[in-house]
């Protein structure tokens, strides 16, 4: 293990760090120190792991170990406080990670130190793959195709890099994570599951504040339901019948809406847990009252809530955003049928950070 060249420490769990320390002839407590420095202190380089003796740091370095924290290559700041990060990994591939603060965002300190922003809470939207293979027709990420999976360490690293950039004093118990960035987490299942376990056990973020969204990878929904530690599940529905879903999400060819809804019905919900259905409203395509009534039928008997997202525009995508009266009418039909339904406020639309807009856009393009 110690001979691995160009291996990254970030992504190793406590057990693996313990094995590494043993291989290097180190006492067992070094694994705890290393884990703490990586995941709690979020140290950016081996040189800064000063809780470890210099000789051990040199030993790790000469055996080819690097820390593996990704770099922030660019950041775009929205007028609403949202920040879209372009995060770069060791092979120069990039993904986007979005920081969405909530609360007053006031500053502390006397100005002599880097500013420390304070918020009541914040949500980080996390990517799981570089690009995406799923090809949802309303999503800009789909235009990239799939370039590669992220490792567990890279998934976790995005979050640590963003927390470092935000100089967060925020109690980690008030950070929400949504695995809804670039990629389909259930097509990178093992790395996603390992990342969740690192985030819960080593970084200390609560699983109850994590949600993963899937486009409908049916077999993995069942696997996910069996995990002892897991985020909440959101299903990206976006259509009220097979025909429309097939038109918007070609993945429906492989896993039909019928199979998807069967998997949703069999999903083992925990006490007081609800499934979330995400529904992107596309003007004149899936946003009619009849569509809303079909959604009511689909969700009948399920403990579920619905998030409505007015489509966020992007260049090269030929849809329109419905007007607010249409969205309100759709919502009313679901609420009247007893389904808790929320209209998701777009975050960072002006910087291409909103849902479906993540495409590693390195310049700002004006939205008409």
Give the footprint of ligand SF4 on this chain (CB under 6 A): 132, 134-136, 139, 141-142, 182-184, 215, 356
> What positions carry a catalytic annotation?
96, 355
Q: Alpha carbon of 197 to those of 35, 96, 226, 244: distances in Å?
A: 13, 22, 14, 36
Nearer to ligand SF4, 136 or 150 (CB): 136
As a whole number of angstroms, the distance between CA 194 and CA 204 comes to: 14
Q: ∠ CA(85), CA(127), CA(138), 5° rounding?
A: 95
Nearest distance, CB of residue 357 and ligand SF4, angstroms:
10
Nearest distance, CB of residue 37 and ligand SF4, angstroms:
33
Of 24, 100, 105, 29, nearest to 62 by C-alpha is 24
Nearer to ligand SF4, 65 or 179 (CB): 179
- 242 in Cβ contact with 294 (< 8 Å): no
**DSSP code of residue 183:** S
Rg of the chain, C-alpha, whole Å: 21
Nearer to ligand SF4, 182 or 291 (CB): 182
Nearer to ligand SF4, 81 or 313 (CB): 313
- 119 burial via Cβ count (<10 Å: 0-12, 13-18, 19+): buried
- 284 in Cβ contact with 320 (< 8 Å): yes
Nearest distance, CB of residue 195 and ligand SF4, angstroms:
17
């Amino acid at each position: 293990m110690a001979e691995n060249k160009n291996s990254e420490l970030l992504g190793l769990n406590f057990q693996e760090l313990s094995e590494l320390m043993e291989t290097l002839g180190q006492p067992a407590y070094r694994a705890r120190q290393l884990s703490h420095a990586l995941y709690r202190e979020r140290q950016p380089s081996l040189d800064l792991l000063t809780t470890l003796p210099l000789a051990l740091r040199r030993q790790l370095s000469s055996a080819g170990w690097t820390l593996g924290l990704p770099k922030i290559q660019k950041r775009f700041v929205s007028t609403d406080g949202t920040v879209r990060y372009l995060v770069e990994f060791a092979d120069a591939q990039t993904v986007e990670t979005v920081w969405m603060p909530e609360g007053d965002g006031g500053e502390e300190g006397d100005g002599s130190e880097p500013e420390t922003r304070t918020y009541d809470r914040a949500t980080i939207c996390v990517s799981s793959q570089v690009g995406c293979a799923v090809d949802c027709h309303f999503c800009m990420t789909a235009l990239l195709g799939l370039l590669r999976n992220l490792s567990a360490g890279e998934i976790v690293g995005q979050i640590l890099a963003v927390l470092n950039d935000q100089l967060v004093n925020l109690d980690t118990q008030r950070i929400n994570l949504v695995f809804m960035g670039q990629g389909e987490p259930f097509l990178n299942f093992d790395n996603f599951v390992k990342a969740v376990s690192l985030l819960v056990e080593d970084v200390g973020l609560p699983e109850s504040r994590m949600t993963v969204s899937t486009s409908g990878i049916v077999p993995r929904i069942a696997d996910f339901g069996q995990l002892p530690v897991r985020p909440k599940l959101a299903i990206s529905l976006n259509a009220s019948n097979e025909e429309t879903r097939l038109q918007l999400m070609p993945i429906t060819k492989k896993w039909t809406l019928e199979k998807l809804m069967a998997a949703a019905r069999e999903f083992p919900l925990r006490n007081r847990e609800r499934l979330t259905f995400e529904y992107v409203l596309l003007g004149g395509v899936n946003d009619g009252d009849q569509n809303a009534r079909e959604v009511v039928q689909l969700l009948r008997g399920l403990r579920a809530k619905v998030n409505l997202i007015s489509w966020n525009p992007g260049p090269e995508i030929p849809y329109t955003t419905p007007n607010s009266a249409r969205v309100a009418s759709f919502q009313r039909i679901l609420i009247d049928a007893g389904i808790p339904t929320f209209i998701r406020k777009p975050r960072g639309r002006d910087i291409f950070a909103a849902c479906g807009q993540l495409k590693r856009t390195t310049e700002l393009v004006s939205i008409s």
